[in-house]
Amino acid sequence: MNKSPDAHRMEKIVSLCKRRGFIFQSSEIYGGLNGCWDYGPLGVELKRNLKNYWWRVMVHERDDVVGMDGSILMNRAVWKASGHEDTFTDPMVDCRSCKARLRADQLVEKNGIKQRPNCGGKDLTTPRAFNLMFKTFVGATEDESSLTYLRPETAQAIFVQFKNILEVSRKKLPFGIAQIGKAFRNEINPRNFTFRSREFEQMELEYFCRAEEGMRWLDYWKEERLKFYENIGIARDNLHALTVPDEERAFYSKGTYDIEYDFPFGRQELEGVAYRTDYDLSQHQKASGKSLEYFDEETKQRFIPHVVEPSAGVDRTVLALICEAYSEDEAPDEKGKMETRIVLRFHPRIAPIKCAVFPLLKNKEPLVAKAKEIVALLRPHMYVFYDEVGAIGRRYRRQDEIGTPFGVTVDFETLGEKDPALRDTVTLRDRDSMKQERVPVKDLPGILVSRIS
Ligand code: GAP
């Protein structure tokens, strides 16, 4: 069967991720572990740049948000009170024909009969609830008293620390608490590369407000989050804000948007923006017996704030960034013959390596020395890569393929050998247009910083 162009594109992306060191299968030499992934040297930079930018716009550039970093293991009581222990489940069926286990919503219906899409098996067990939390034991005994879970979302740490953070930050409503961290879900069918994993990272904001302002803040955050994705290079046309219908929303939510992206494997959720009302704080107040109320000094009223939660997946966004950036075009090779060029057109702000520095020839000591001087000049400001191996065109191609937006070449003009007026200038190449401009070395840090921030 011929693969669809999108499936083919996805295969090329997965292969590039491995070949160039973005993403590897976890425990690969032992056959891997389904739903777990490792980020290689370039993947970790991309992920870090994404998280840093999220933190910058969600925390540092605002007066009304502070951050926290909670532990992954928490008291089991948290998961009882939040409802996760009883209800964080997927309905699951077993196919008796091929012995596969799958989510009930993945069955297809033909002539009114449910069946498994792959094998067509109709002999299925009735759906059973399967809890997605990973169990673990804290301390030396392995019994009910020491049982807890790896957190399935970062949000609960924010709710249970609400009072402490309110007191130390002295914030007034509306204000938010942001967190980035690992979450774990024992997904029944991890799939689509890193899209649905068992271990992943979330970037979550809990934005506390008055009940009457909840719907307004929900719309505000939906718009802010769409802007965020555009600012990291995702085209608005590939983003969609879906209003989650009443019957699909959590029972406590008064409104939810899913921000979706057109992945090669279909339109899928990147982030949920949910108005969770006062459900979480109320649950924890009830279960812990500790007040989680807010005291309004002006009106002298005490109440439990409502919350709007933009909750994004780091790994899904990284995957969207790679899918969005992947492109192929035509460029001349060393001999002027046109060849296919693979380019990751990352926004400079999130590109793993910002600038590559090349001496034109590696066996000309003054060129090498000058190039290394430029590396040292740029390093305090950005992640720079030095490369002296191979023809210059090949070196450009290698950087294009990993999405480095700028290349600096040190040539004989830089040394002042051809035209003294060009001494201490270099060529600065733009990855996308492939245009080159001549710029003074001393101006490089300023020019590049303005283009990558
Ligand atoms: N605190 C709310 C919450 O966790 P969610 O919609 O279950 O809401 C939020 O998750 C985001 O976390 C999702 O939009 C997605 O980006 C990411 N996410 C959830 N499950 C994931 C998984 N199995 N693999 C990768 N990312 C996941």
Report percent pLDDT > 70 for the chain.
Answer: 99
CB 269 less than 6 A from any atom of ligand 1? yes
pLDDT at 168 over 60: yes
Give yes or no for residue 438 having a pLDDT over 70: yes
Q: What per-residue confidence (pLDDT) applies to 285?
A: 98
- Ligand 1 contact via 316 beta carbon (within 6 Å): yes
Say yes or no to pLDDT of 2 above 70. Answer: no
Q: Residue 156: what pLDDT?
A: 98
Question: Is the beta carbon of 185 within 6 A of some atom in ligand 1?
Answer: yes
Q: How far apart are CA 264 and CA 323, in angstroms?
A: 7
CA of 442 to the centre of ligand 1 (A): 45
The predicted structure's pLDDT at residue 4: 82
Q: What is the pLDDT of residues 112-153, one digit of tens each?
A: 898 988 888 899 999 988 999 999 999 999 999 999 999 999
Expressed in angstroms and rounded, the spacing between residue 200 Cα and the centre of ligand 1 is 8
Q: Is the CB of 90 under 6 A from ligand 1?
A: no
Mean pLDDT for the stretch of residues 249-263: 96
According to the model, what pLDDT value does residue 377 have?
Answer: 98
Q: Whose CA is nearest to atom 22 of ligand 1?
A: 196
Q: What is the percent of the chain with per-residue pLDDT over 90, rounded to a whole number?
A: 87
pLDDT tens column, 375-396: 999 999 999 999 999 999 999 9
pLDDT at 120: 86
Residue 55 has pLDDT above 90, yes or no: yes
Residue whose CA lies nearest to ligand 1 atom number 4: 153
Atom of ligand 1 at shortest distance to CA of 187?
23
Q: For residue 324, is pLDDT > 70?
A: yes
Task: Tell me the best of 82, 153, 259 to mutate to test the pocket of ligand 1, counting ligand atoms within 8 Å of each CB and taking the most.
Answer: 153
Q: What is the pTM of this model?
A: 0.94
Answer whether residue 254 shows pLDDT above 60: yes
> How far does residue 261's CA lie from ligand 1's centre (Å)?
14
On the question of pLDDT at 5 being above 90, the answer is no
Q: What is the pLDDT of residues 219-231, one digit of tens each?
A: 999 999 999 999 9
Q: How far is the CA of 326 from the centre of ligand 1 (A)?
A: 24
Banded pLDDT at 277 (limits 50, 70, 90): very high
Q: Which atom of ligand 1 is nearest to the CA of 153?
A: 4
Average pLDDT estimate for 39-57: 98
| 70 has a pLDDT exceeding 90 | yes
CB of 396 within 6 A of ligand 1: the answer is no
pLDDT band for position 211 (cuts 50, 70, 90):
very high
Is residue 1 pLDDT above 60, yes or no? no
Q: 260 in ligand 1 pocket by Cβ < 6 Å?
A: no
Please state the rounded mean pLDDT for residues 173-188. 97
C-alpha of residue 312 to centroid of ligand 1, in Å = 7
How confident is the prediction for the chain on average, in pLDDT?
95
Q: Is the CB of 311 under 6 A from ligand 1?
A: yes
Centre of ligand 1 to C-alpha 271, Å, is 7
Task: Give the residue whose CA is nearest to atom 5 of ligand 1.
Answer: 272
Mean pLDDT, to the nearest integer, of 271-287? 98
The predicted-structure confidence for 407-421, as pLDDT tens digits, reads as follows: 999 999 999 998 999
Backbone angles phi, psi at 322, to 5 degrees: -70, -45
CA of residue 70 to ligand 1 center, whole Å: 17
Instruction: Return the pLDDT at 331.
Output: 85
CA 321 to chain centre: 8
